[in-house]
Each structure stands twice: as structure tokens, then as C-alpha cells.
Structure 1
Amino acid sequence: MMADTIVAADIRINARWVIPIEPAGVVLEHQAVLIQGDRIAAVVDQQQADRQFRAKETLDLNRHVVLPGLINMHGHAAMSLFRGMADDLPLMTWLNDHIWPAEGRYVDEAFIRDGTRLAIAEMLRTGTTTFSDMYFYPEVAAEVAHDTGIRAQICFPLLDFPTMWASGPEEYLRKGAALIERWQGDGYIMPGIGPHAPYTVSDGPLRETLALAVDKQVPIQIHLHETAFEVSEALEKSGHRPTQRLADLGLLTPTTQCVHMTQIDDSDIRLLQASGAHVVHCPESNLKLASGQCPVDQLQRAGVNVAIGTDGAASNNDLDLFGEVKSAALLAKVVAGDAAALSAHEALAMATISGARALGRADELGTLEAGKLADLIAVDLSDPFLQPVYDPASHLVYSSHSRQVSHSWINGVPQVQDGRLTRIDVPDLMLRVQAWAERIRDKNHG
């Protein structure tokens, strides 16, 4: 760029610190992030920005760190309306005796609309700019996300048995194909297929899942190796571990996202390596349900891409990805027996570029680089109890609270300004949530 060439930009953000994620482990100081339209135009020294850019709007964030928006790679958004409803129970008891009956009683389009909006409000407020969802009435969740302007991978559910959304595999797949048709190619909504788990989906529907995924070029996200019981039951019934079964069916590919993976051995890791499949780690849900521990450090050393997710608010009980990143970093050290495992920078990468890789969108998301989509957040580190700040990456993972997210942009559009949501009517949403809470409380305790 010529020194005397002035370039127009829409937004200039002057940041005390910038963590671009790539190059890895870098913290830049006194940088300007320039946004033009829906893209990042440049990340340059503020003095260089003075010489080369003229912006319509300038934001001075002199106490803040700016980084890419976080990517929450697994959740069930509308389950936020079940937050705290059935705590301190093992997974299968939680599912069979509480969650599945409650879903049958309450989940409809209105539940999905209000529950998804509540989840999106929480995620935006705590730094997430892209999320992955696997739940009923995915067409409603997709509309809510699109209307709000948040990116979302929407995986339609698939199970052997009927639910409120479909009567069986044939209807799940037919409705799912319509979802893909509606949203494929959209900038915000990324449709995908969400077969629930190997123990709830038989071989026939899994083969049809693969055929649809290949035909439409969409990803598959599946709960896999979540508990020791799941693995032992599969071995008892078929003689094969669930990962081996999926590999034999052809379902492990570079567009497959394997959620949980708490019970894995060397053979599972070899299958992940060979296939290029991704792992989505949900540390807090796995801890709370006592499901097990994903060996993140071992997987990363084997070259497996590990992204991160919160799971649903019914088993977490929040959708705060910064909290999840902290839990992941701490847990990885204990599991590996190594205090150097999953450093602060590596943990932040899990929540950004690793998620982008799992989505197949690493060329557009996950780092702060010129030409990428303008999905970014700012976190205020001026709180007295965050002082002194020697290393902002360390603070983001180990010290700060996600409510210090002060600003958020998706596609260059402000979503959070000075801690306030710009696209969601919070008072109206709270009235709706309260109505659901009263209805669920009355039926459960009446």
C-alpha cells in the first residue's frame, strides 16, 4: 500500500491489546482493527492506521483486548428453558427420567423460539458469535438465529424413535433435507445433520445420513463415546467400539464432528487421525454428569482438531464459553498430568480457529486477519480485581469473567455495545421466559 493512499473504512477499533489467534501465541499492543463492510480490512499499528485509513466511526477501547468471536461448537439452545431443572443426576437417569419426559410435555415451536432466543442472548453477551445447535424444530432455531444476526450451524436431529418433531427416521430425514434446501449457501446459517448417538440411531438411518451428507455436502455432528456405559454396551452387543462402527459405516470423515469423546483409547485416536474427523470437547457438562474426561492434550499431540462447546444449559448450566475455556485448560492439565498442557493461547484457539476448522470455515472465521469476516469481540480488562495485567491471554482464560465482554460484532454489525445487546429485546424475552418457568414449575410441582 502506498504511504499517501488513504483507504476508507466503516469502523476503526483502537485496542490496547489484540490477540489475533494466528500467528499463535501472539499479543499485539496499541493496534487498530479496521472493518469495511462485513470484512476485516486490516489489523495495523495505530500510527500506521492514522496515515492510511479514514473511518466513519472510531471506537477507543484503551482498556480492552480484542479477539475473534468465540465459536461454541455444541449445544441444544432451547434447553436453556430447562436450566437447573434436573441437576446432580447421572446421564441416563437425567435423560430417561427427566429430560425426555419434559421435552415430550413442553417442547413445541414456541418453546424453541423463546428458548433459542434466551440462549442466543446469553451467548452473545458472553462473547460467542457462532454456535452449533442440535435440537428439535431446527427450522425455528434457524429463523431465530438468522433474525438476530448470529452465525449458527443448525443440525437437524435424527433418532430411531418418534419425538414431537418427527415420527421416525424417514420423517427426520425428509424434514432435514428441506432444512438443508432452505439454508444452504446462507452466510449466517450452516445446515447439518445431527444423528443423536450410536445407541439411538441404527445402521440403516446412519447410512442414509451419510448419503445425504455426501449429496448435499453438509457436516455431521454426533454424540460419541460420551460415557463408559455407551462403549461397554456397544462392545457387548456388537463386539465393536462405537467409533469403529461409525468408521466401518463410512461416517468418520473430515466433515464429521464427534462430541464428547470422554472414553477413548489408542484405536479411537488412530481412527480420528486417519479420517480427519473433529472432536468437540464439552468439559463442564462432562464433569457435571460424571461422564468422563476427554484427553485433549493427547488428541492435539496426535494432530486431531479439538474444538469446544458448552452443551445445553440443562446440563452445564450456562452457555458461557469463556468459563468453558477455563475449565478445559484446567482439566487438560490434570488429565495429562502436565501443568503445561493446553496453555491459555491454545485454549483460546480451541474456542476460535479450531471451531472454524470443524465448521469448514477456517478461511473466513476464527482469526483476526485482513479479508476474514468481521466477527470479533472486545473484553474490558480494567476491573480492579483483574489488576495487574501482565498477560491478557492468561487473564481471558484464568482470571476474567465473561460479563466483561463489552462489544461484539458479527459481519461488521454491532451485537453488543458497552455490555448491552443491540438486537434482542431483553425485557420482552424475560417476560416470555418467566411464563415458561411458571408453566413448567406448576406442572412439575402441582
Structure 2
Amino acid sequence: MTTEETKNENRKILNTDKVLWITYINIILYALSYQLQRPVEPYLIKSLIEKEELEGSLSSSSSSSSSSINQTYGNLQSFFSFCQFFGSPLVGILLDRIGIRKTSIIVYIASALSYSILASASDLSLLFVSKIPTIFQAAFLVAQATAATSTGDDASLRAAALGRMTTAYTIGATIGPALGGYLAGKGDFYIGAKFAVAGSILSAILSSLFLPDNNNVQREEEPPTATSSFLDDTRRSAEIALRPTIWPLLMVKVMGVIPLVLTQTLKFEPQQLGLVMSCGMFAVAAFGAFAMSPLAKTLGSFGMMNTGLIARSILGLIMAGMVTVYASLLESTTTTNDIEFILMQVIVVSILHALSQHVLATGLTTQTTGNVDKDEQGSLLGLEHSLFSLARIGGPAIATALLGFGGMLPVEMACGSLDILMTISLSITLPRSSKRKNT
């Protein structure tokens, strides 16, 4: 390699590092902005319901009881997931059509618009309107596309970058709720949304200054070809989803129900549930930052998927057994030592469960993005995120029904059976060339 070629290679590496670090910063700001207002929303809903009751626009039958507030909050979250379900594929197509920089700017401007409407929401209608711009609020999707395209064909580098995206999100998601609660402590439920507007605008500026103009270097070097229509790109997204190297992987997108179970079955207090979830988040953040790359080099993305599926099914059944035993134990004893002992065991299993989910998710995204061309990665990731939103709409209802039918054991037996079936299915249906491509 000549001196000039070495300089060009070093320059390329430095530029990739800069793009990734700006993306990490943007994801921290995105998670921080989102979480600043999220824990305040139930209280904001309560205050708006009480206000509308006083003004006479709500009947006395729709009082500000906890059930009414919970129902409104649930409807709001379902509407948000509905917007994301349709919006994620659109953002994916935009990534492939106009590139990372412009799509990122659109995403963060949409976030700023959503938070601006929320910051001035004087009634419940405006609260729901504030979720409409979230159709394009897909910053993590854009970050994944940036990681996938910036790291080239190196699967271990791609897995490491994807893992660090989760670490960056966890940093913002850890700080955001506490800071949002503190800011709203004096009764101003809109202040978090106002700060979120500023954070989103800052991310839009960073995106315009530092992110690449196109997500596909090869496309920049090739002569221009006939431009496809948006409908053509939508059809191509459907075609991508049906490829034999893709559809088995998309089927593995399954939601967990650990927080619901810890709340309803073990009857944990909010601070105990928060401790369990925080420990899991910190473990995932540390694992993504330091252990994902060595694991990807050792197992490959296909091995990561199978390991995550098998580990998750085993740990889920262990958790179900713990719940069955400890739920009855907690009814007969309330000693501090017993509760602390149970809490520590649940924390350990929950951390391992969270890590297995993280390994599975990273392995899946590493595998899927490696199985398509670079100018198709945005559309693919849009499909993945759309499936996440679909699962958030229907998954909790199914899990709750199973939970009410027989407790956690039926839930984890169903999830574990699906995981084992998917492990077998991936080994049979996924072409051998695809398995080797990302190892």
C-alpha cells in the first residue's frame, strides 16, 4: 500500500469514527429528550382531565380516577405505537432515497415539532396531536443505519457499533426520567418537553454538520440512474421482507413481559421494580460497550442469534419457576432478609435475561443488515422497527391474557417454545451462505 493509499485509509477511518461518535451523541440526546417528558405524561393527563372536568367538557362519569387516567395513557401509547408502525418503513425508505444526513435532520425536526405541541398541549386532543409527528421520530433506526453503513462488511465492527448505540441510548434513558421528574417537581409538567425541543434541534444541527450526505458511498461514485418512485421503493421493501435470507429473521421479533410480571405477580414496589430495571439497563450498556465485539468475533452473528434465543428461553423458564415459588413465599413472610434475598435473585436472572435479549437483537440486526445491499439497509431497518411497534400494540394484550389464564408459567412456556422453534427454523430455513456471510 502506497503512502497516499495509507493516508486515504486513515482519513476514512477517522471520518467513520467521527460519524459514529456524532451518532452516539445524538442518540444520548434523543433518549434524554424522550425520557424527560415520558414519566410526567400520566400526571399531565390527570391534570388535563381535571381541567376539562372543571370546564364542563367532560362528564362527571369520566372522572379523574386511576382507571380513567390509565385508560387514556394506554390509548396515548397505543396511538404512538400506531404512528411508529406506519412511520418506521417510511423513514427506512427515506434513508435509502435521500441518505443519512437529510433523513436524520427530518427525524429530529419531527421530534422537536412533537415536543413543541406537547409543551403547549392545553387539552387531551392536543396531547394526541403531539404524537402525529412521531411518524418520523425514528432516531434509533437512523443510528442503526449509520452504524451498518459506516462499518462496511466487517460483521464484528458492525455488531460493536450497534451494541454501543444501545449503550448510548441507555445513558440518555437513565438520566432522562430522573431529570424530568426533578424538573417537573414544582408542578410544571411542560418544562421537560421544552428542554426536549432544544435537545432535538441540537441533534438536527449536529446531523447537518457532521453526518454523511449519502448512506451509500458506492452510489455517490456511480453515474446517476433512473430515479425510482416512492411506490417502487415501498414494493421493494415488501420484496426484501419476503427474501429467504430475511423473513426468518424478522419472525424472531418477540416482546418480553418481565416488568409486567414483576409488578403484578411478585407485587414489587415501584422502587424495587425500578432497581431491577436499572440494573438490567446498566448491564446491557456495559455489555454493549465492551463485550459485544469480542462476542461477535467468537460466535458470529448467526451464533449470537441462536445463543440469545436459547438463553432467553431457559432464563424465562427459570424466572417463571422463581415467580411460582416466591409469590406464595411473599404471602407468608414479610421479613426484610427474605425480601432482599428474593430481590437479589430476581435481579441476577433479570440481568442475564436482558443480556440474552441484547445479544439476540444485536445478532439479528447484524445478520439482516449484512444480508442486503447497502442501499437497502434503511428499508430493512424500517421494517424491523415497524414490527417492534406492531408487537407493542398487540403483544401486551396477549401476554396479559396468558398471565391471567395461569400466571407467568404459560407466558414463558409460550415464549420459550417460540424461541426453540425459531432456533430450529433459522437453522433449517436460512440459506447456508447467509449463515456464513456474517461470521
Q: Same fold (TM over 0.5)?
A: no
TM-score by length of structure 2 reads: 0.25
Larger Rg over CA atoms:
2
Question: With CA pairs under 8 Å and 6+ residues apart, which has the higher RCO, 1 or 2?
Answer: 2
TM-score by length of structure 1 reads: 0.25
